[in-house]
Structure 1
Amino acid sequence: MLIVHHLGKSQSERIVWLCEELGLTYELKHYVRDPVTSLAPPELVALHPLGTAPVISDGELLLAESGAIMEYIIAKYGGGRLVLGPDHPDFVDYIFWWHYANGNFQPNMGRNMFVRRLQLPSDNPIAARLNSRLVSAFALIEGRLGDVPFLAGKDFTAADIMTVFSLTTMRYFMPFELTPYPNILAYLQRIAGREAYQRAMQKGDPGMPLLLA
């Protein structure tokens, strides 16, 4: 039995969403953040040496890292769904946006989050540079979504599942105004209309307002 160990308001929402898109049978185990530190509780930390979410177990397998988990689930249970192969005309776009999510975009969000928490003055050169890089990261997505409905192209893929967390739930930790990005906002409405996304968010984070605007 595939078990998804899910920490509320975390990148593990990707795994719940993926399972829903694929129509998989899985068990969802919820973990709640410490109300003071916002960190994962001890029982989740004890599961894996990294002490972070997501984590899945599948028989004797225990696996962390959302990208690795997604690749594993897609390879084992996906049946070719939500991925584009090398013969597809959008293959290069698919692999770029898949890796952009956690290779560039989410780290940009994380670095800016920590800098903001340091409360550096707005004219601090490091803070200014990091903010500039974040604006550029959003601008790249905005430009892409002005040309195509989904990041890989015309088809919804796992690259979208990888990316949406940073555009939505991550903004609870690193607020970012999306008003200047109408293509991203329209994209998030398309995502909001997906039944699998609705089910995943209701199961994983019931009652949490979704930051889709």
Structure 2
Amino acid sequence: MITLHHLNNSRSQRILWLLEELGIPYQVTRYQRDPKTMLAPPELRAVHPLGKSPVITDGAQTVAESGAIVEYLADRYGSALIAPHGTPERLRQNYWLHYAEGSAMPPLLLKLVFQRVATTPAPFFVRPVLKGVAGKVQAGFVDPQIAAHLAYLEDELGRHPWFGGERFSVADIQMSFPLEAAAARGGLNANAQHPRLADFLQRIHARPAYQRALAQGGEYRLG
């Protein structure tokens, strides 16, 4: 039996979604973030030394990292959601499995960090400095990086209806998290510059498996 070690408001939500799309039996072990630090609880270190989520166990096998989990589950359970090895479609899907965390997420994480720096309680004489530094880094580097990635992704969805090509695939599940993070804090919904990305989010949110995963996972808010 597959066990998903699920942390609220985390990347493990998309693994829940994949499991629902695959239609295979699984169970969920739930963990809650510390409400003050927003860090994962120490109990997760008993599953994986880094104490992060998602992590799955499948018999004696433990698999961490979203992209590795997605590929493992889709390959092992004969999913139509992933193309065969050695095909151009598989190469494209693998690209998005890596791009989501390797390229798309870093500027979005920096956005979150500097937003928190700007609002962190500090002595009155330090607050203007923190806000000034955070604002300059966001305006000069983080926001342009996010804008460049969103423009690139908007263009990609103009070439194909889905990130993996002509049909829904694991690439779309993997890309859901950075795009939901961009909608929450990266300006994706702030204007009409990215109608294809907005449509993509509407399409994935309407999938029955996505809805079932939300019911299973509980709270899911990215701020």
- Hey, what's the Cα distance between the residues in 2 that align with 1:39 and 1:125? 24
1:116 and 2:120 aligned: no
1:146 and 2:158 aligned: yes
Q: 1:34 to 1:175 in 2, by over 3 A?
A: farther
Spell out, residue by residue over 1:125-164, the C-alpha distance to the aligned partner (whole angstroms, 9 max, x if none): 5751122111101111111112322112211110111010
2:147 aligned partner: 135
- Hey, what's the Cα distance between the residues in 2 that align with 1:177 and 1:140? 13
Q: Is the 1:56–1:69 Cα contact (8 Å) retained in structure 2?
A: yes
Q: What secondary structure is seen at the aligned counterpart in 2 of 1:165?
A: helix
Q: What secondary structure is seen at the aligned counterpart in 1 of 2:204?
A: helix
What are the equivalent positions in structure 2 for 1:43-58 lying under 5 Å apart? Answer: 43-58=43-58
Q: Which blocks of at least 5 consecutive residues in structure 2 are unaligned? A: 119-130
Q: Alpha-carbon deviation of 1:86? A: 5.5
Spell out, residue by residue over 1:53-94, the C-alpha distance to the aligned partner (whole angstroms, 9 max, x if none): 0111112222221111112212211x1421123565544432
Q: What secondary structure is seen at the aligned counterpart in 1 of 2:3?
A: strand
1:159 aligned partner: 171
Q: What secondary structure is seen at the aligned counterpart in 2 of 1:35?
A: coil
1:9 aligned partner: 9
- Hey, what's the Cα distance between the residues in 2 that align with 1:47 and 1:200? 22
TM score, norm. by length of structure 1:
0.86
- Hey, what's the Cα distance between the residues in 1 that align with 2:60 and 2:210? 28
What are the equivalent positions in structure 2 for 1:42-121 lying under 5 Å apart? Answer: 42-77=42-77, 79-85=78-84, 88=87, 90-119=89-118, 120-121=131-132
2:122 aligned partner: none
1:203 and 2:216 aligned: yes
- Hey, what's the Cα distance between the residues in 1 that align with 2:138 and 2:206? 39
User: What percent identity do the matched residue pairs reach?
Assistant: 39
TM score, norm. by length of structure 2:
0.83
Q: What secondary structure is seen at the aligned counterpart in 2 of 1:40?
A: coil
Structure with bigger gyration radius: 2
Q: What secondary structure is seen at the aligned counterpart in 1 of 2:159?
A: coil
Q: 1:153 to 1:22 in 2, by over 3 A?
A: same
Q: Is the 2:182–2:188 Cα contact (8 Å) retained in structure 1?
A: no
Q: Alpha-carbon deviation of 1:117? A: 2.3
- Hey, what's the Cα distance between the residues in 1 that align with 2:178 and 2:216? 19
Q: Alpha-carbon deviation of 1:21? A: 0.6
Q: 1:84 to 1:111 in 2, by over 3 A?
A: same
Q: Is the 2:81–2:169 Cα contact (8 Å) retained in structure 1?
A: yes
Q: 1:10 to 1:72 in 2, by over 3 A?
A: same
More helix by share: 2
Q: Is the 1:115–1:127 Cα contact (8 Å) retained in structure 2?
A: no
Q: Alpha-carbon deviation of 1:95? A: 2.6
Residue identity opposite 1:82 in structure 2:
L
Q: What secondary structure is seen at the aligned counterpart in 2 of 1:30?
A: strand
Aligned length: 208
